[in-house]
């Protein structure tokens, strides 16, 4: 994709879809991360974190969306596909992006503590791996941060309330 106004609008549309997935995760009590995979302008996979729901540590939005997308195209290689994700992928998800041959990943907020794409680790462009993934960061970053911050604020507030109730 080039940086034309039309493509930017498509990028925003797909990131909004990823944000809706993140909001669905939050509503289920999951860390609010959402992912959408697009190939030739068509959504071929979308998911949100479901680690608690599925009792599966690998059930991250990115991995679930990759599984959907590979089933949709009938191939484990997602050549030419772009993933839109609300948060920088962790090391596991970054590895899955490389292995699936994803063309590009676009994310909203970086994760300086656990980021596997560029912040903590540079898996998407590791010279010793057999594929590199194009990166675009910061798309709708304030919106992505808001969903994440709101989720953890609610968790902290509920925890404080439980502690207070236990003291009474």
Based on the residue annotation, tell me whether 136 is a catalytic residue of this protein. no
Q: Which residues of 130-146 are buried (b: 16+ CB within 10 A; e: fewer)?
A: ebebebebebbeebbee
- Alpha helix ranges (H) inside 89-140: 91-99
- Alpha helix ranges (H) inside 74-140: 91-99
Listed in sequence order, the residues at least 6 apart from 82 whose beta carbon sits closer than 8 Å to its beta carbon are: 1, 14, 37, 38, 39, 102, 103, 104, 105, 106
What is the rounded CA–CA span in Å between residue 60 and residue 68? 12
Which of these is catalytic: 21, 62, 72, 150? 62
The pair of three-digit structure tokens given for residue 133, joined into one six-digit string: 């993934």
Q: 93 vs 47, 62, 70, 74, 89, CA distance in Å?
A: 13, 6, 15, 20, 5
Query: Closest by alpha carbon to 132, among 92, 100, 86, 91?
Result: 100
Which sequence positions are flagged as catalytic? 62
């Amino acid at each position: 994709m080039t940086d034309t106004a039309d493509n930017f609008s498509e990028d925003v549309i797909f990131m909004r879809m990823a944000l809706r997935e993140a909001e669905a995760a939050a509503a289920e009590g999951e860390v609010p991360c959402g992912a959408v995979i697009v190939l030739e302008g068509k959504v071929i996979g979308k998911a949100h974190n479901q680690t608690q729901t599925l009792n599966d540590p690998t059930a991250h939005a990115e991995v679930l969306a990759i599984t959907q997308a590979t089933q949709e195209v009938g191939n484990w290689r997602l050549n030419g596909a772009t993933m839109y994700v609300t948060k920088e992928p962790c090391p596991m998800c970054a590895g899955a992006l490389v292995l699936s041959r994803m063309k590009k990943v676009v994310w909203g907020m970086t994760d300086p503590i656990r980021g596997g794409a560029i912040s903590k680790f540079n898996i998407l462009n590791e010279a010793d791996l057999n594929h590199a993934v194009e990166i675009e960061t910061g798309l709708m970053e304030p919106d992505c941060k808001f969903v994440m911050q709101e989720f953890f604020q609610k968790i902290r507030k509920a925890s404080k309330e439980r502690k207070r109730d236990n003291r009474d």
